[in-house]
Structure 1
Amino acid sequence: MKFTISWLNEYVQVKDLNPALLADKLTMLGLEVETVQELYRGVADIVTARVRQVRKHPNADRLTLCDVEVGDETIQVVCGAPNVREGLVTALARPGTVVGSMKIKKAKVRGEVSMGMLCSEKELGLSEDHSGIMELDDSIASGLPLAEVLELDDTMIEIDLTPNRPDCASVIGIAREVAGVTRRELTIPVTDRDVPAPDNDGPEFSVRIDEPELCPRYAATKLVGVTIKPSPWWLQKRLMAVGMRPINNIVDITNYVMLEYGQPLHAFDFQKLAGGAIVVRRPSADEMTFTTLDGVERTLSPDTLMICDRDKPVAVAGVMGGLDSEVTDVTTEVLLESACFDPVSIRRTARKLNLPSEASYRFERGVDPNGCARAMERAVRLMVELAGATVKGAPKDLYPGKKEPLILKLRVQRVCQLLGIELGDTEIADYLRGIGFEVEGSGEVLQVRVPSFRIDIEREVDLVEEIARLVGYNDIPTTLPKITMDYPERDPLRTLRQDIAELLRANGFCEAINYSFVSEKHWDMMGLGENDPRRQATRLLNPLSEDQAVMRTMLLPGLLENIRRNINYQQTDIRLFETGKTFIQREQGSQPEERFQLCVVMSGNRYPGARPLYFSGLQADFFDVKGVAESLLRELRIAGSSQAIEFREPESGAVQPYGDPAGFLTIMDGNTEIGRLGRLHPATAKQFSIKQEVYFLEMDVETLCGLPRAEKSFKPLPKFPAVKRDIALVVPEEVEAGKLLEEIHAHKAELVEHADIFDVYRGKPIEPGMKSVALTVTYRSAEKTLDDETVDRFHDKIVSSLMSRFGGRYREGQ
């Protein structure tokens, strides 16, 4: 968006602001200034001159000798312009003046002295007209600076607008912003109070909107007695200053008002409109080509919005008019259009036709529908003044898309809180009124009516931003927010999941993340019974595929699919885990029950990629996955709710159908099952095309989260040496080896530091029904060095306790 300071000054007083200061204020308002350029610097030394006498050049047929009056002096200038004549006031470049890239010198032209050059508008950079020398008003005195006479001392400013500020695609819009920040009065040529009430009963022409969703408002008026001629200098100057080429008074007025109000206008030659009608519609099947004003035939799409007369299209709505209805030198009747179109429709059309224009630039961003009448009235007044036009009949104004204005509540305290400054309700209201908002009420809450030209204002916080812009970001003090130095509460379930993942990764496992959508074939592949609750799956209404038709109720099938895929890629040593939600549909029509589960799988070598070679070939087994479970519980410091967590063999028939009964344990907290582990049943492995042993661990993470966790504590390193004793007892087969450890650990307060099982033996010479369990016990005192007598006494006490409780005896040879 380009404008000049003199143009802006017509609406708000800015002459006392230097261009750099004005540019800074605009930038701080959010209107980024790209260019600040002084205009017409090349005419600084050009002066006015009056031609007193014109004589034929004696040595050239196409040249003349002109006696030119410059103030009190008369000089001779050789001129070849066809329009030079006695009494003409024009522009003179005297010797020493630079015109364009040429420095004017005193010279002889075909033997005659020339003391300068009479200049055309193109040579001075004022327009593209080079048909003759510049013609000025006869009343202008000679010898005056041309820049002063034509008021060329001006500065052009270009702003790079963001798409959310279409209101500033106009000089008045920018003036409104400047008036708001400088607290100065805004003057608008035509306001709502100046616009006459529309009368839709005029007989001269008709308007119909067939696409109201694409054209919420269409206003038009007819003018007769129009005289097409060049625009006055002041109008041409303003258009040229912002890079627009003057054409004629009617077209120039529509462009001028578009730049002034931000409302694109279009003038049709009324005598070229069939039936005196305007119809806003889409093209029919036989109207898919259209020739625009630039003479190019363009191919339309069925969704292009067109402005048509009774028979045919005459303009591409919001983009460009048609060649067959343009205003020409013989036009005497004009139909002036001022409309509002859907931004998306115009943007799509301009892109498809590759036809950007000043009009589409504004319509694409959104114009103010309530500004159509004001802009049309402004153009009508200028046409009456500059083209001798007369309004014929009543204007038409169809407004099917009228909307109620948006009213927002603005809390004064909220403004102060967000900006970090203290402002009163009156001060806030004054800021908003300065940029066109209507504010009612006082006290803590203000009622703010958002003007229709501010399409970017939707919420209370948008109003706070407006106040911040007007106060000035540089004038808002920098303050740090008050932050309390406390540790935010963390979700214990999320923390537990993170701890589990960290521990498993430290133990060489990789985390898998599988889809929650699975195949319902998994339940049969896992051997689940018909009444198993894990068959109660939630079905998807629109599954991506048949293999992703239901929500998962178990994590293990997904990991088994991962194992199969890895084996297919010759990766046979696998350690994976996944923590994720399972979904069980307890009741139809209700939300499924969601619970976080943990599943761990192991397969292949116990030490993948291990060196030296004697480690290779050792396969992971049942005790490895049990060790993972024990390690997790130990490192997470999870204790039972009433007693220690136990690993138990399930009762007969309680083994999961996918678990091998020969290697399966449940993890129990009293009578509550919190997990299970074991070897995958060969039949289940076959269902997943897995030919090697797989061991798994399943735990309910939410149940784990509900169990107490021991506090972290520190114990200093022992200062006294430890003493180890081994025990080899023969006990009945039904005695669990873990029970022996529990009995020993019960003596921890009595110098027992640690106990472990290092061998279990069955076979000769141990009789059937018995087994040999070898244990090692570590004794240590925190207060002194233990002697053999003391250790033997405690050791014998533990052995006697084991023998009496479990019916054990020493293994022969011990």
Structure 2
Amino acid sequence: MKFTYNWLREYVAVELGPEEIAARLTLLGLEVDAVEPLYAELAPVRVARVAAVHPHPNADRLTLCDVEDGEAQMRRVVCGAPNVRAGMYSALVTPGAVLPGGLKIKASKIRGERSEGMLCSAQELGLAADAEAATGIMDLDPAAIPSLEPGLPLRTALGLADTLFEVDLTPNRPDCTGVIGLAREVAGFTGLPLRRPVEQAPLLPTPEQAGSDLPFTVAVEAAECHRYAARLLRNLRIAPSPPWLQQRLQAVGLRPINNIVDVTNLVMLEYGQPMHAFDFDRLAGGRIRVRRAAQQEKITTLDGVARELTPAMLVIADSDQPVAVAGIMGGASSEVGPDSVNILLESACFEAKSVRTTAAALKLATDSSYRFERGVDPQVAPLALERAVALILELAGGEAVPGGIDYRAGVQPSSELILRLRRVNDLLGTALDIDTVEKVLAGIEITGERADDQTLRITPPSFRVDLEREVDLIEEVARLVGYDRIPAAMPKVAMELPAVDPVAERRRRLRSLMQAAGCHEAINYSFVNPAHADTLQLPADDPRRQALPLLNPLSEEQAVMRTSLLPGLLDNARHNINHQSPDLRLFELGKVFFVEERQDLPREEEHLAAVFSGRRSPRAPMLWTGEEPVDIYDVKGVMEELLTGLALADLQLVPAATTPSYAMASFQLIITDGPEGELLGEAGKIQPAVLKAFGIKQEVFYLELNLTELSRCRSTSAGFAALPRFPAVKWDLAMLVPEEVEAGEMLAAIRKTGGKLLEQVEIFDVYRGKHIEPGRKSVAFAIHYRDAEQTLNDKKVGVVHGKIIKMLEQRFHGQLREA
């Protein structure tokens, strides 16, 4: 938004300088990007009076002019302008100055005669672009400029001494897209009154109330039009605008066109209310229809471009065709030109979203759409209309047809807001009183009434469409009081460690354990291929088949939410193997999603999955480990390390009761005190058919844990034990047991029977073959005994060892194997 200092002072009589105003506006949240003096390049140009004109002795088209420029001595200037005459006032540039075009003026001889400066045309000074302005020097009228005298700076004489402001507006401040809105902010921090050109407009009749004698009709057929006011002006004279109006528009970067169009642009910049003028004689049927465009309807806009419209676009139409794209640009068919006589003037309010989408679809951004997209105050439309009518009649003559039309059925009243003083001070950290809050808000015309001595009841003004909640009003109080005046205070922070999030700590621990096991973490999308359920050969009744579909998937391969981490890791495995990295240990820690009946959102579970393939120790020398591949016991070892590291109780690894459809040689993790051994995880070897479906040509082992369920398990308490003072005793034990006896059960039974003396037990051999009868196996244990209070002897160890042998014989039908 651009405006000038002198223009601002027409609405608020501020005495602060431009730099101070810019600083105060920026503190109010209206960032001023630039403050630049206007026509600074004209600073050396002065008013001069031509005292006498003499013929040039050596050139017929040149004259010698004696010029008064406020100095004691008269200057001699050679001039070639045909309009120069004695007694006229013009613009003089003296030697040493530089013209706006870059020409440096020097004292020189022209056809043998010395010239001490240059009398300039308006075009040479950059004040006019037409060729006619270049045919003669500037002719300043003393009657129009009473203060005219030799030596007066030309910027002062022409009223060009001004300062341009450029404000970078945020989208939530449409009230400041007009100079009056910015003047309101200045009036707020200076306490000065705000003066408007039109304070109140007569209430025009609605379309239903308008009489039949009115020469035009208005019909609003679309809800996106909230207000539409129009008046008719007759017998106007289209001409260039007066210099003051042209200069004002040029100062803010607009090109003057004619007195009618220039007035609509001026009022738009003044009130922030876009306007449009139609040539009334070119409107078919004298009718205005605010409607949606028809399919493939076309309009040629004022920029000469033919545009195809859609039914989503709002247009202004006459009886036959669209004559404007609502809120964006008028049509060429009703353009105001030199021959126009009767003008229909429009001042409307259109829905911001409608204008924004239409402007984007047409790739057409204008000063009008810039304001409508942010939200225009519907109550300003009749005020801007009256202001424009008054200016047009002043500049173009003619007369206004009595009355007009004002459609206002779409104007909605603002909702009342409650502002609590306690809430203001709590949020801002201030100690403001109710009088101060009420005063600063009233300074920008936000008024209300007191509900009590701590509460204000406020109805936001129509020009502040951004005030929707109490906190919006509190923000207004903060910026009006001044952010720099709100005391700063360091936050109170307790000097203590933050509470540890158990879920985050568990994730950290799991990652550390998996990395210690030689695994690398993979991160995959939660959106997966619906075909994964078939690739894993899941049964029809498996809940993992009920994947949640996405409404707007990224691709067909990412159309559902995952119900397992395995497919993603198998895809990772294939990718690595195909890129000459066959030795891999990958894990992923993430969420899976299951559809819940009669629930809008899926049930989320956190899982950990891993895949293992290739050599067991690919980085070790082959002479040490050979080419041993990973197997099911590697996976089992990682699973046991995880359980040990998490310190969870009541868990047991057992052979799988039923092997999953995608696996073989699998085992399961169950909770021993849960209902029927509740399943918390599984591990095993992937079926060859599944590997083939994934494009993998080597063995792959896997594990998957349900961390959500695992987190409900009881934790074992960690404790400290002193280092032992007495030596341990190791006794070996080999038992012949039936083939179906599980070694894990034997280990658990030995630990329980051994009591306090048993320190450690481990299996060091399982043998089948010669001297062992079929259907049986030999399992050898290394048992470590230790007493914390004394040195053990064979007698004491033998008692406990004998109990263990007896228990194994009775419970597992074992037989002590002789050496």
TM-score for both structures, normalised by structure 1: 0.84
Question: Which residue number corresponds to residue 425 of structure 1?
Answer: 434
2:342 alignment partner AA: E
Question: Which residue number corresponds to residue 3 of structure 1?
Answer: 3
2:765 alignment partner AA: D
459-468 vs 319-328, greater mean Cα deviation: 319-328
Question: Which residue number corresponds to residue 162 of structure 2?
Answer: 154
Superposition deviation, residue 151 in structure 1: 3.3
1:432 alignment partner AA: L
Listed as ranges, the matches of 1:63-142 within 5 Å are 63-64=62-63, 78-85=78-85, 88-93=88-93, 99-100=99-100, 101-102=102-103, 116-128=117-129, 129-139=133-143, 140=146, 141-142=148-149
554-563 vs 131-140, greater mean Cα deviation: 554-563
Question: Which residue number corresponds to residue 403 of structure 2?
Answer: 394
- CA distance, structure 1, for counterparts of residue 117 and residue 558 of structure 2: 89
Gap change, CA 1:86 and 1:219, over 3 Å in 2: farther
Gap change, CA 1:333 and 1:498, over 3 Å in 2: same
- CA distance, structure 1, for counterparts of residue 591 and residue 227 of structure 2: 54
Question: Which residue number corresponds to residue 658 of structure 2?
Answer: 655
2:434 alignment partner AA: D
- CA distance, structure 2, for counterparts of residue 188 and residue 396 of structure 1: 23
In 1, are the aligned partners of 2:178 and 2:272 still within 8 Å (CA)? yes
What is the RMSD computed on CA atoms of the aligned residues? Answer: 4.2
Superposition deviation, residue 435 in structure 1: 2.1
Gap change, CA 1:286 and 1:723, over 3 Å in 2: closer
Question: Which residue number corresponds to residue 28 of structure 1?
Answer: 27
2:183 alignment partner AA: A
Gap change, CA 1:55 and 1:229, over 3 Å in 2: farther
In 2, are the aligned partners of 1:659 and 1:678 still within 8 Å (CA)? no
Question: Which residue number corresponds to residue 806 of structure 2?
Answer: 804
Spell out, residue by residue over 1:592-636, the C-alpha distance to the aligned partner (whole angstroms, 9 max, x if none): 765555555545544455433442343444443333333222221
1:170 alignment partner AA: G
Whether 1:475 aligns to 2:485 is: yes
Listed as ranges, the matches of 1:92-241 within 5 Å are 92-93=92-93, 99-100=99-100, 101-102=102-103, 116-128=117-129, 129-139=133-143, 140=146, 141-143=148-150, 145=152, 146-191=154-199, 193-198=200-205, 200=207, 201=210, 203-209=213-219, 212-241=222-251
374-383 vs 303-312, greater mean Cα deviation: 303-312
In 2, are the aligned partners of 1:575 and 1:602 still within 8 Å (CA)? yes
Spell out, residue by residue over 1:28-49, the C-alpha distance to the aligned partner (whole angstroms, 9 max, x if none): 2222222222223344454444
1:5 alignment partner AA: Y
Structure 2 counterpart SS, 1:216: strand
Question: Which residue number corresponds to residue 638 of structure 1?
Answer: 648
Whether 1:673 aligns to 2:678 is: yes
- CA distance, structure 1, for counterparts of residue 195 and residue 559 of structure 2: 67
2:8 alignment partner AA: L
- CA distance, structure 2, for counterparts of residue 107 and residue 567 of structure 1: 87
In 2, are the aligned partners of 1:217 and 1:339 still within 8 Å (CA)? yes
Whether 1:276 aligns to 2:286 is: yes
Spell out, residue by residue over 1:289-314, the C-alpha distance to the aligned partner (whole angstroms, 9 max, x if none): 5262x5x3434444665444444454
Listed as ranges, the matches of 1:47-58 within 5 Å are 47-51=46-50
Gap change, CA 1:83 and 1:335, over 3 Å in 2: farther
In 2, are the aligned partners of 1:537 and 1:551 still within 8 Å (CA)? no
- CA distance, structure 2, for counterparts of residue 665 and residue 321 of structure 1: 75
Please list every run of 5 or more consecutive structure 1 residues that lacks an aligned counterpart in the other structure. Answer: none
Superposition deviation, residue 776 in structure 1: 1.9
Question: Which residue number corresponds to residue 298 of structure 2?
Answer: 288
Gap change, CA 1:151 and 1:783, over 3 Å in 2: farther
5-14 vs 740-749, greater mean Cα deviation: 740-749
In 2, are the aligned partners of 1:406 and 1:449 still within 8 Å (CA)? yes
Gap change, CA 1:688 and 1:510, over 3 Å in 2: farther
Whether 1:243 aligns to 2:253 is: yes
Question: Which residue number corresponds to residue 436 of structure 1?
Answer: 445
In 1, are the aligned partners of 2:732 and 2:780 still within 8 Å (CA)? yes
Structure 2 counterpart SS, 1:404: coil
Match of 1:340 among 343, 349, 362: 349
- CA distance, structure 2, for counterparts of residue 577 and residue 711 of structure 1: 28
Structure 1 counterpart SS, 2:389: helix
Superposition deviation, residue 350 in structure 1: 5.1
163-172 vs 193-202, greater mean Cα deviation: 193-202
Superposition deviation, residue 558 in structure 1: 6.8
1:413 alignment partner AA: R
Spell out, residue by residue over 1:668-727, the C-alpha distance to the aligned partner (whole angstroms, 9 max, x if none): 414533446565596976896888666555544344322221233344555665553433
2:35 alignment partner AA: V
Listed as ranges, the matches of 1:252-263 within 5 Å are 252-263=262-273
Superposition deviation, residue 23 in structure 1: 1.7
Gap change, CA 1:735 and 1:320, over 3 Å in 2: closer
Structure 2 counterpart SS, 1:763: coil
Gap change, CA 1:691 and 1:240, over 3 Å in 2: closer
- CA distance, structure 1, for counterparts of residue 670 and residue 710 of structure 2: 11
- CA distance, structure 2, for counterparts of residue 105 and residue 737 of structure 1: 111
Gap change, CA 1:317 and 1:589, over 3 Å in 2: closer
1:90 alignment partner AA: S
197-206 vs 173-182, greater mean Cα deviation: 197-206
In 2, are the aligned partners of 1:658 and 1:680 still within 8 Å (CA)? no
Gap change, CA 1:494 and 1:227, over 3 Å in 2: same
Spell out, residue by residue over 1:423-479, the C-alpha distance to the aligned partner (whole angstroms, 9 max, x if none): 223322222222232333354443332233333333333333222222222222222
Whether 1:455 aligns to 2:457 is: no
Structure 1 counterpart SS, 2:404: strand
In 2, are the aligned partners of 1:39 and 1:154 still within 8 Å (CA)? yes
Number of positions where the alignment pairs a residue of Structure 1 with one of Structure 2: 796
In 1, are the aligned partners of 2:295 and 2:309 still within 8 Å (CA)? no
Structure 1 counterpart SS, 2:12: coil
2:169 alignment partner AA: L
Whether 1:626 aligns to 2:640 is: no
Structure 2 counterpart SS, 1:440: strand
Listed as ranges, the matches of 1:480-519 within 5 Å are 480-484=490-494, 492=502, 495-511=505-521, 513=524
In 2, are the aligned partners of 1:120 and 1:130 still within 8 Å (CA)? yes
Spell out, residue by residue over 1:167-220, the C-alpha distance to the aligned partner (whole angstroms, 9 max, x if none): 2222112111222233332222212x3444446526343243565244433222
2:80 alignment partner AA: G
17-26 vs 351-360, greater mean Cα deviation: 351-360
In 2, are the aligned partners of 1:47 and 1:142 still within 8 Å (CA)? no
In 2, are the aligned partners of 1:726 and 1:777 still within 8 Å (CA)? yes
Structure 1 counterpart SS, 2:237: coil
Structure 2 counterpart SS, 1:708: coil
Superposition deviation, residue 144 in structure 1: 5.2
1-10 vs 89-98, greater mean Cα deviation: 89-98
154-163 vs 518-527, greater mean Cα deviation: 518-527
Gap change, CA 1:51 and 1:514, over 3 Å in 2: closer
- CA distance, structure 1, for counterparts of residue 629 and residue 116 of structure 2: 109
Spell out, residue by residue over 1:222-272, the C-alpha distance to the aligned partner (whole angstroms, 9 max, x if none): 223433444444333322322334444333322222221122223333334
Question: Which residue number corresponds to residue 14 of structure 2?
Answer: 14
Superposition deviation, residue 637 in structure 1: 1.0
Whether 1:758 aligns to 2:800 is: no
In 2, are the aligned partners of 1:559 and 1:601 still within 8 Å (CA)? yes
Structure 2 counterpart SS, 1:759: strand
Percentage of matched positions with identical amino acids:
47
Question: Which residue number corresponds to residue 365 of structure 1?
Answer: 374
Spell out, residue by residue over 1:318-342, the C-alpha distance to the aligned partner (whole angstroms, 9 max, x if none): 4444555444455443322222344
Gap change, CA 1:269 and 1:50, over 3 Å in 2: farther
- CA distance, structure 2, for counterparts of residue 108 and residue 497 of structure 1: 90
- CA distance, structure 2, for counterparts of residue 158 and residue 208 of structure 1: 38
1:260 alignment partner AA: E
Gap change, CA 1:367 and 1:589, over 3 Å in 2: closer
Gap change, CA 1:485 and 1:710, over 3 Å in 2: farther
- CA distance, structure 1, for counterparts of residue 295 and residue 598 of structure 2: 53
- CA distance, structure 2, for counterparts of residue 755 and residue 6 of structure 1: 96
1:449 alignment partner AA: T
